[in-house]
Amino acid sequence: MNATATAVEELAAFKKLAQGIAQLGRAAPPVDLSADERVARAKQVFIQKTDAQVALDLESCLHCGMCAEACHFYEGTGQGRYAPIHKLKLLRKVYRRELGPFRLVHRLLTRDLSVADLEQWQELVFDSCTECGRCDMICPVGVHLSRGVHITRQALAAAGLAPAELRALDAEQSRTGAIFGADVGVLRSALEAVRAQGITVPLDKPRAEYLVLTTAPDLLIYRSSLAATARIMNHLKFDWTFASNAFEAASSGALSGDEAAQKQATQRIVDAALACGAKYVIVPECGHAYPTLRWEGPNEVDRTFPFEVLAISELIGREIDSGRLRVKPVGAAKRVTFHDPCKLGRKGGVFDEPRKALAALGVELRETESRRATNYCCGGGAGVFLLERAAPLRAAAFRIKREQFDATGAQSVVTSCDSCRMTFAAGAEQTNWNVPVESLVKLVADHLATGEAT
Amino acid sequence: MTLLDFARGPAMFWAMTLMIIGIVWRLAGTVLLARRKDRSSPRGENRVAAGLRAVAMRSVPPHELEKSITFQHITGYAWHLGWFATFLFFAPHVPFLKSILGFGWPGLPNQAIVILAAITLAILLALLVRRMVHPVLKVISDFDDYLSSLVVCAPLVTGIVTYAHLFPDRHETMIALHILSVEALMVWLPLGKIFHCITALPLRFQIGATYARRGVKA
């Protein structure tokens, strides 16, 4: 299939998935909790998650408001309530009343957390925060704001107040292990489609050095990225496999704040990796899945992993460095810019490896003004792209991102995250922006040096 | 006992005592909370070096961040420098500080310090007005922000008024009020956001080390 046909097919699949996402909230299970139960559950999470590090954050804020200047949602809307530090207000309230050194005074002087507070904060920590962490980079005293937002998400989730779309995903993944209906049947059919291209794709090998994960958008929309992953693994002659009992890398619980769901998804992958004796688990182009497994996973399942977790872009960069992965130069005539997915970059530490791949491909890389640790988020991370009512906020964030891209004069944007690609695709459609957004994995796979194994 | 005697004697003693007890209490209540063990394997960066780097470099954000906070940065640094310069180098302050520390240093010319104090006060008042009208600061500000502004401005106001002899018949009272205003600041320090003078550098270290674990310079 040529590139244009692939793009058309992927756009159609994207629109179909987008229609499904718009209906997602209707599938959310009902929550039967009284107001008092919601408040009690939220407070329990706030207290449980506030350790000495979080407490130091909450004791140190100057209320300078600089964090807002790093936030795309504040910059895009001018609404003061989107200031990151404001989003930590409930966490600070509970800390001060329940744990802080002056709690007796605060209990006398401040009112307790209410369910109205929790309901009001839903928009602030879900719709208008992608937990991208750009605010963490600007705070003059070093408050870890995105961590505070995530704790607040977890508190709201415990209170049954995560947005319906995310609760629906949690329920689906807990029940089937899959999201967006991309279950094992869809996996098998997608792999068959890849095999039909003459590409070898192992599934359920009893022993394998590399356990490779995929994700629903790759199965439903970006099948070319799925095929590209297989081509690269084969090119490297790795002993690898997909596992039908643990193929979905995404973790809805990491988005909604439902820690039980997150732990279940992580445990499924860990069990599969241990069962096949994997030394490496490869995370596909799914931004949040990487820090969820690589950095949070060991804490969720309370053990240090006996295997290494690598993002596919990280693996590519490493193998190019080692000389085992050889690519043909695309040529400097191709001018690209690279979008660092927040969860891979700022929250994951994967900055250099994708750039090594682009350097090996010989393309002219034109960096955006804000890049690497200060990169602007796509606007849809941490599940925001799933929230119907957050569409205006995503549009505001996309305007900033688009300006950054356009200023580079690049012919295309390369990235390594399906959520970012989908968010950009939606923004492009709404604003008639016609700069293609490419998968790094596919770009590399399309330019593998001769002798490629299939 | 005159008001000045009170300010120099028991008020100073109790302000100092409350400040020290308050700092120890608040700091202990914060850092003695449990710490979570992180079971993920770090990337291998030197986290101590990264923490120290963050302590220094948080004052100099990258250009793409700095350009949107230039006003706050310049005014923030300016008033802190002006305030401490006034405190440390106003000639009448030096003997007082020497009596506490056991060593002294030359003061700066009084007129220069008064001009500096006036500029510092003007910046603080401008920032206070900004706090009341800025879309973000309006939302996030609370009682602590306004009281902290007041207790930081008060020593400057009383100091300038005292130096300028605006109330020549009450000069001793004005000196007493100036000292009491400093004591109010000392008492409020462990209670409000001025406490960041104790926690800011450790927190910078903390975020630098936390992000370095993942291989990110913060």
B71 touches A: beta carbon within 8 Å: no
Give the closest of A74, A308, A373 to B136, CB-based.
A74
A331 pLDDT tier (thresholds 50, 70, 90): confident
pLDDT at B45 (0 to 100) = 79
CA dihedral for A58, A62, A68, A71, sign (positive or negative): negative
Q: Looking at the 3D structure of chain B, how many domains does it have?
A: 1
B73 within a domain of the structure (yes/no): yes
pLDDT at A1 (0 to 100): 61
What does the pLDDT average to over A112-125? 98
B126 in any annotated domain = yes
- Structure confidence at residue B203 (pLDDT): 98
Contacts of B199 in chain A (CB under 8 A): 56, 59-60, 141
Q: What is the structure's pLDDT at A451?
A: 60
N-term to C-term CA, chain A:
17
pLDDT band at B24 (very low <50, low <70, confident <90, very high): very high
Does the structure show a pLDDT above 90 at A453?
no
Angle, helices A115-122 vs A145-158, to 10°: value is 120
Residue B57 domain boundaries: 3-27+43-213
User: Got the DSSP string for A53-65?
Assistant: HHHHHHHH-----
Is B37 part of any domain?
no
For residue B69, give how far its alpha carbon lies from the nearest alpha carbon of chain A (Å).
6
Classify residue B36: in a domain, yes or no.
Answer: no
Band (A6; pLDDT cuts 50, 70, 90): confident
CA-nearest residue to A57 within chain B is: B203
With cut-offs at 50, 70 and 90, classify the pLDDT of residue B108.
Answer: very high
Distance CA A390, CA B107 (A): 58
User: Closest partner residue to A295 among B31, B40, B141, by Cβ?
Assistant: B40
Residue B202 lies in a domain: yes
Averaged over A112-121, what is the pLDDT?
98
Please state the rounded mean pLDDT for residues A212-229: 97
Q: Which residues of B touch A61 (CB under 8 A)?
A: 193, 196
Residue B121 domain flag: yes
Q: How confident is the model at residue A11 (pLDDT cuts 50, 70, 90)?
A: confident
For the residues B39-62, what does the mean pLDDT come to? 94
Residue A52: is its pLDDT beyond 70? yes
For residue B119, give the CATH number of its domain.
Answer: 1.20.950
> Scanning every residue of chain A, which has its alpha carbon at the shortest distance from the alpha carbon of B212?
A349
Q: Distance between CA B64 and CA B48 in Å, rounded?
A: 26
Size of interface A-B (CB pairs under 8 A): 169
Section A409-424 average pLDDT: 97
CB-CB under 8 Å, A370 with B64 = yes
| Residue of chain A with shortest Cα separation from B194 | A62
Record: contact A65-B136, CB cut-off 8 A: yes
Could you tell me if residue B207 is inside a domain? yes
Q: Convert the pLDDT of each residue in B181-208 to its tens digit.
A: 999 999 999 999 999 999 999 999 999 9
> Minimal Cα distance from A344: which residue of B?
B214
pLDDT in tens, A142-161: 999 999 999 999 999 999 99
Predicted pLDDT at A454: 53
Contact A369 B64 (CB under 8 A): yes
Cα distances (Å, whole numbers) of residue B47 to A52, A132, B214:
18, 22, 10
The interface predicted TM-score (ipTM) is: 0.96
| Chain A interface, best mutation among B133, B143, B216, by max A CB count within 10 A | B216
* Residue B128 contacts A where some CB pair is shorter than 8 Å: no
pTM score above 0.95: yes
Cβ–Cβ below 8 Å for A102 and B191: yes
B134 touches A: beta carbon within 8 Å: yes
Please, what are the domains in chain A? 35-160 (1.10.1060), 176-319 (1.20.1050), 323-445 (3.40.50.1860)
How far apart are the C-alpha atoms of A416 and A438, rounded to whole Å? 8
Structure-token pair, residue B198: 């104790």
Residue of A nearest to B209 (CA): A142
Q: Is B33 within the bounds of a domain?
A: no
Searching chain B, which residue's CA lies closest to the CA of residue A345? B216
pLDDT of residue A388: 93
Residues B176 and A426: their CA atoms lie apart, in Å, by 66
β-strands A335-338, A280-283: how paired?
unpaired
Query: Best residue in B25, B27, B30, B204 to probe A by mutation, most A CBs within 10 Å?
Result: B30
